[in-house]
Amino acid sequence: MKILVIHGPNLALLGEREVAVYGSFTLDEINEALKDEAKKAGAELEIVQLDGEGEIVEKIGKARKTFQAIIINPGGYTHYSVAIRDAVAAVAIPTVEVHLSNIYAREEFRHKSVIAPVAVGQISGFGVNSYLLGLKAAVGLLQKK
């Protein structure tokens, strides 16, 4: 079972940016935790961090040939990227949307996700555990198939 993990814009700055919101852990630490959990679950991961909207859309479009699930933190694109939303819908791969912070407890413009309606689910507000819960959800979905 192959799962694609996409970290969106600015996530390479984790550990340095807005520590009060996102925590002090780094993207490398999140990736290592994901790899450890994937190994236990018998899943293979490809993990990418992409800042560009077009890069994310392209990666999702190519995923249909290789991956059975996607875990995505679209970052700021969550709230307005119809292009990423349409890419997720087009590939019809079970997609779990994750966020480190609780987007519903932040600024009002962050309360709406255009990705959520085409994702199988959304997990937010649990820091690193949002990703780990997203991985668990994706693995569970694939094991039911």
Asked whether 86 and 115 are in contact (CB, 8 A), the reply is no
> 73: annotated binding-site residue?
yes
Active site residue ranges: 22, 99
124 annotated as belonging to a binding site for a ligand: no
pLDDT single digits (tens) 114-144: 999 999 999 999 999 999 999 999 999 999 8
Instruction: Please state the domain extents for the chain.
Output: 2-144
Residue 101 in marked binding region: yes
Helix (H, G, I), strand (E, B), or coil: what is residue 120? coil
- 28-55 tens-digit pLDDT: 999 999 999 999 999 999 999 999 999 9
This prediction's pTM: 0.93
- Find out if CATH 3.40.50.9100 is the number for domain 2-144: yes
